[in-house]
A and B are shown apart, each in its own frame.
Chain A
Amino acid sequence: MIEVAEDILTAVGVHLNKGGVAVLEDVSFSLVSGHIHAIIGPNGAGKTSLLRLIGLLDRLDQGQVIFGGRAVSPDCPDILTVRRQMAMIHQSPMMFNSSAYHNVSIGLKFRRTPRAEIDRKVNRAFDFVSLNGFGPRAARSLSGGEAQRVALARAIAVEPLILLADEPTANLDPRNTLVIENLIRRLNRERRVSVVMVTHDLGQAGRLADEVTFMAHGRVVETGPADQVMNFPRHELTRTFLNRGLVL
């Protein structure tokens, strides 16, 4: 039987203005269920703005974000239910000023999960990121690599359908970058979590992604299977960026 790939999340014709400046113009994007989709592009391309829109953190000016077959926005009545199926990690993991355990458990506490279940899920998340025993540590005393793993554990603990990752390895050394990449890959393969990842690291996009979207100047320039976009780009801007990391 042939498995039909289904889009779990779609953005259609999205426009976003900030302070009178167009940040996103007619951007369309889709995430296939169970896939890793990398968004690449130069600084100011609108990658993070798109990630925040599809994470329903910001309101769009025009267009639609479709999740589970229907349009969703930060103003829809069941926004909480929709948001609770996603989790986000950032370039600089923002740790709450408390223990690592509290940080990892907080999403479950927001959901009023019973205590015993919280303990079980938090321990499982620590185990997944190989940070067993880190629970009592002060979250803000952790190294960059450890903090990003705790942030990943925090996202995993709530068992999301989609992980949104905004340059998750930008501040990490090569060893920790590989650790995070492996964790994201395992999360995707073992738990079937779909991932949208903004990255500057073209090698990382090639290593992890099933699909790649290249953005520049607030627009999608090219999107498609990772192999095609990374190795046989159709658009001149994509070629320039992939060869020199520049878009003029």
Chain B
Amino acid sequence: MDTIWWGFVKALDLVIHLDPNLTSIIWLSLRVSGTAVLAAALIGGILGVLVATKRFPWSRVCVIVLNTCMGFPPVVLGLFIYLLISRSGPLGFMGLLFTPMAMIVAQALLATPIVAALTVAAIRSVPEAIKDTAISLGATMAQADWMVVREARFGLMAAIIAGFGRVIAEVGAVMMVGGNISGYTRVMTTVIALDTARGEFELAIAAGIILVTISFVVNLGLNLAQGGMRK
């Protein structure tokens, strides 16, 4: 019990005094996950909008594939990326292994199907009458599709938040392709895993507190934004 208690006390001390090691880890985590989610929002968002609004053969298969990819095991993805970017891999010449860029790629690949699948679900939940109403008011097909996407905006924001939630809390893939190098590729989740294994809990607990706080703040922001937009 003492270990947990002192772990929390020391962790709070690190947080309150903005320990440089902790802040650099937080900053890298936010930078990696933020960039990955931006990329996923762009790619997954566009993919989701296209699948949801355009009629084409195999669109149903696309949705099934996206839904399947949502649950793709991060360590398996990490393994594939590792094999691709390792020195002997086909993309080894790019020198990406054990760099923040490799972590961004891994996280973006994890978040893209989540954003895309949830975007499809959000857009398909918009009543068909919205599109009909837009068309009957003289919209072009593109304008009508845009109105549908606009109506799904809260769902789209939730999709991006869900993608962010997935990647900021992810440990397996970033550990494999980032290497958990102190001061370079060490992020909150990997420091929690490493320091717990070492029995050094204060930094792990501090990172855990920050991780949970970030998740809370992001969701609170989403909730406030949705409330504001609905007024």
Chain A contacts to B: CB under 8 angstroms: 55, 57, 80, 83-84, 86-88, 90, 92, 94, 96-97, 106-107, 110-111, 138, 154-155, 158, 164
Find out whether the CB atom of B136 lies under 8 angstroms from the CB atom of A110.
no
| Residues 42-65 of B contacting A (Cβ, < 8 Å) | none
Asked if A106 contacts B134 (CB within 8 A), the reply is yes
Contact at A57–B130, with CB atoms within 8 Å?
no
Give the complex CA separation of A86 and B129 in angstroms.
17
B231 / chain A contacts, CB cutoff of 8 Å: 138
**Which size class do B's interface residues fall under?**
10 to 19
Task: Establish whether residues B136 and A57, one from each chain, have CB atoms under 8 Å apart when the complex forms.
Answer: yes
Complex Cα spacing A5 to B17, Å:
86
Distance from A103 Cβ to chain B, minimum over Cβ atoms (Å): 9
Number of A-B contacts (CB under 8 A): 54
Asked if B194 is at the interface (CB within 8 A of a chain A CB), the reply is no
Instruction: Add 4 more A-B contacts to A90-B133, A92-B129, A94-B130 (CB < 8 A).
Output: A86-B136, A96-B151, A97-B230, A154-B137
- Main secondary structure on A side of the interface with B: mixed
Which of A84, A94, A97 makes the CB contact (< 8 A) with B133? A94
In whole angstroms, how far apart are the Cα atoms of A88 and B136 in the complex?
A: 6
Residues of A with C-beta under 8 A to B127: 94
Please state if B129 and A110 are interface contacts (CB–CB under 8 Å): no
How far does the Cβ of A109 sit from chain B's closest Cβ, in whole Å? 8
**Interface SS of B by simple majority:** helix
Q: Please tell me if the beta carbons of A97 and B135 are within 8 angstroms of each other in the complex.
A: no
For residue B132, CB closer than 8 A to chain A, the reply is yes
Q: Are A90 and B129 in contact (CB under 8 A)?
A: yes
Q: Complex: how many Å from CA A57 to CA B131?
A: 10
Give Cα distance in the complex from A73 to B137, angstroms: 16
Asked if residues A87 and B147 are in contact (CB atoms below 8 Å), the reply is no
Q: A90-B129, A138-B230 are in contact. Are A97 and B151 (CB under 8 A)?
A: yes
Contact yes or no, B132 A57, CB < 8 A: yes
Within 8 Å by CB of B137, from A92, A110, A138, lies A110
B138 in contact with A110 (CB, 8 Å):
yes
Closest to B146 in A: A110
Q: Which residues of A contact B230 (CB under 8 A)?
A: 97, 138
Contact with A along B13-37 (1 / 0, CB 8 A): 0000000000000000000000000
**Which of B129, B137, B139 has the most CB atoms of chain A within a 10 A radius of its CB?**
B137
Q: Residue B223 at the A interface, CB < 8 A? A: no
